[in-house]
């Protein structure tokens, strides 16, 4: 058995197991004992948690909380609504669609860790939504839709599939002439970096005219270790491009220091920040919810102009009609007759001419 398989076989998902890593508070114990939702983490990710800090940023992401039973802003049956599963177009369960040229292809509903803030929690954590994961049916549907250019393989965590299944999906997709890009969404480079084995690199790697991109999810600098750095290097050196999709989480990364450090450290291990997501309105995750403006403020106050532009993610909210940018719009202050007044991150002003018919006004 490979190390990563051992980690999954031995997922930390009982009080007894969790006690090996942290001193469980009475509140946490009650939440664990009374939850009906799936929870658990890899032993590796659990080992990064501070034993005695109930506010540890990794702990808050994986240990159930009593607040999961509350719901104010979450939408019931959120995933059916958000992924347009009850719409006009009849699609296999594995296919979620919001765009003409790309789809999300959900191939599995198990994960390395069960994030308490998961936006797909009805499928992955609560298990109230059951999908049929018929990969061949999905592949046939993709083949018939030649307007598609990109397939985003997601879950659950698709890299938990065995190497030969992943190889099969990639090979079948590359046989479809209209598919130009394959993208994986996987948290494993962060929560189970041991998964990036020589075997997997062989499956994902080598030069090919249909490139593979991988977006992972890392929400706090504390999640970044030497093992993750090595896993990312393994992916990159096999020709897989690596990005990050962070989620803005109250009490975890919504303070200036954590936010800036996260994005700087991602770059240091060669991960390009791609999206910062505003927390979606899935039910039972309000305790992680910030005001919408928060993400734009953090980008304005800690990233743009303050650190490398390479570290800058696009702040978006994922909705039933696609992702909508929520970037700070502090830069155009005014449009006069002849010039725009722009503002930088220090509040300093500058101007640009208004262009009319290709000539200056």
Rule CB under 6 A: say whether 280 interacts with ligand SF4: no
Per DSSP bridges, beta strands 332-335 and 339-343 are: antiparallel
Residue closer to ligand SF4 by CB (options 124, 311) is: 124
Interface with ligand PLP, residue 102, by CB under 6 A: yes
Determine if 97 is a binding residue for ligand PLP (CB under 6 A). Answer: yes
By CB under 6 A, name the one of 59, 187, 220, 265 that touches ligand SF4. Answer: 187
124 binds, among ligand SF4, ligand PLP, none (CB under 5 to 8 A by kind): ligand SF4
The binder of 103, among ligand PLP, ligand SF4, none, by C-beta within 5 to 8 A per type, is ligand PLP
Q: Are 46 and 18 in contact (CB under 8 A)?
A: yes
Contact between 230 and ligand PLP by CB under 6 A: the answer reads no
User: Who contacts 335 (Cβ-Cβ below 8 Å, separation ≥6)?
Assistant: 341, 354
Q: Does 66 bind ligand PLP (CB under 6 A)?
A: no
153 makes contact with ligand PLP (CB under 6 A): no
SS3 content of the chain, % helix, strand, coil (to 5): 35, 20, 45
For residue 82, state whether it binds ligand SF4 (rule: CB under 6 A).
no
Note whether 104 binds ligand PLP by CB under 6 A.
yes
The greatest distance separating any two alpha carbons of the chain, rounded to the nearest whole angstrom, comes to 73
254, 287 Cβ separation under 8 angstroms: no
**Shortest distance, position 69 Cβ to ligand SF4, whole Å:** 18
By the rule CB under 6 A, 168 interacts with ligand PLP: no
Tell me the CA distances in angstroms from 354 to 141, 212, 265, 315, 361, one per residue in order: 48, 41, 39, 28, 6
Cα-atom radius of gyration of the chain, to the nearest Å? 22
Instruction: Pick the binder of ligand PLP from 22, 79, 103, 276 (CB under 6 A).
Output: 103
Question: How many residues at the interface with ligand PLP, by CB under 6 A?
Answer: 10
- Contact flag: residue 272 with ligand PLP (CB under 6 A): no
Binding pattern to ligand SF4, positions 110-139, x when CB under 6 A?
A: -x--xx--x-x---x---------------
158: phi > 0 → left, psi -120 to 50 → alpha, else beta; which? alpha
DSSP 8-state class, residue 334: E
Contact flag: residue 318 with ligand PLP (CB under 6 A): yes
Residues 6+ apart with CB under 8 A from 261: 221
DSSP strand pairing (339-343 vs 349-353)? antiparallel
Query: CA 159 to CA 240: how far, in whole Å?
Result: 14
Site map for ligand SF4, 140-179, x if CB under 6 A?
---------------xxx----------------------
Closest contact distance (angstroms) between CB of 38 and ligand SF4 is 9
Burial of 302 (0-12, 13-18, 19+ CB in 10 A): buried
Bridge partners, residue 314, by sequence: 275
Site residues for ligand SF4 per CB under 6 A: 111, 114-115, 118, 120, 124, 155-157, 187
Contact positions vs ligand PLP (CB under 6 A):
96-99, 102-104, 152, 318, 323
């Amino acid at each position: 058995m490979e190390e990563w398989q051992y980690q999954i076989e031995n997922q930390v998902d009982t009080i007894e197991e969790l006690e090996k890593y942290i001193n469980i508070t009475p509140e946490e114990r009650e939440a664990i004992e009374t939850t009906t939702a799936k929870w658990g983490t890899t032993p590796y990710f659990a080992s990064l948690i501070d034993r005695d800090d109930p506010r540890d940023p990794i702990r808050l992401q994986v240990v159930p909380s009593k607040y999961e039973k509350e719901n104010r802003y979450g939408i019931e049956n959120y995933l059916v609504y958000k992924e347009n599963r009850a719409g006009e177009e009849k699609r296999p369960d594995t296919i979620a669609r919001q765009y003409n040229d790309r789809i999300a292809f959900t191939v599995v509903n198990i994960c390395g860790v069960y994030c308490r803030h998961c936006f797909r929690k009805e499928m992955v954590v609560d298990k109230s939504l059951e999908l049929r994961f018929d990969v061949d049916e999905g592949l046939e549907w993709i083949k018939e839709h030649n307007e598609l250019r990109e397939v985003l393989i997601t879950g659950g965590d698709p890299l938990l599939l065995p190497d030969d299944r992943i190889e099969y999906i990639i090979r079948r997709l590359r046989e479809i002439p209209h598919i130009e890009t394959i993208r994986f969404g996987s948290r494993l480079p962060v929560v189970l970096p041991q998964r990036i084995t020589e075997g997997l690199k062989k499956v994902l790697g080598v030069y090919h005219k249909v490139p593979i991109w991988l977006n992972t999810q890392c929400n706090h600098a504390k999640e970044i270790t030497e093992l993750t750095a090595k896993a990312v290097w393994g992916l990159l050196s096999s020709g897989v491009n690596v990005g990050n999709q962070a989620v803005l989480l109250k009490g975890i990364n919504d303070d200036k220091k954590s936010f800036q450090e996260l994005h700087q450290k991602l770059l240091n291990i060669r991960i390009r920040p791609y999206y910062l997501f505003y927390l979606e309105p899935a039910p039972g995750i309000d305790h992680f919810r910030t005001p919408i403006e928060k993400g734009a403020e953090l980008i304005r106050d800690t990233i743009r102009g303050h650190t490398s532009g390479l570290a800058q993610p696009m702040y978006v909210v994922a909705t039933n009609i696609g992702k909508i940018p929520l970037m700070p719009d502090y830069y155009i202050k005014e449009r006069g007759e002849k010039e725009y007044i722009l503002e930088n991150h220090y509040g300093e002003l500058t101007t640009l001419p208004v262009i009319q018919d290709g000539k200056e006004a």
